[in-house]
Amino acid sequence: FPYNGTTTTFESLWMNVPVLSIEGNNHSGRVGYSILKNLKLEELITTSQTQYIEQASYFLENKKYLEKLSEGLREKLINSDLCNGKLFTNNFETMLKNIINKNK
């Protein structure tokens, strides 16, 4: 706990639906944080259950702000490093080369 769904988070953002996430302490609890942080959507990241409820309540009371936040999420995702396969591959290759070179 908390488990931040990877696929469901991407699918929601793809459909221009904001996702509120609690930042956890392990991989399964930090996926949502990582995705939102990479998209510079810090207002959707919370650090506790209390903050999560407060932020959800804020969005519920400020639907115009939430609508504005929803606009262009797909484009933001598409244009991010998260959807840049070439950049990911280059970074991954560099990381592997560094690992190999350290073990020589």
**Which position has the higher pLDDT, 24 or 78?**
78
- Length of the chain equals 104
Half-sphere exposure of 57 (CA within 13 A, CB side): 6
pTM confidence score? 0.82
* Torsion angles phi and psi, residue 69, rounded to 5: -65, -35
Q: Which phi-psi region, left, alpha or beta, contains residue 55 (left: φ > 0; alpha: ψ -120 to 50)?
A: alpha
The band of 1, judged by pLDDT with boundaries at 50, 70 and 90, is low
According to DSSP, the residues that pair with 45 across neighbouring strands are 21
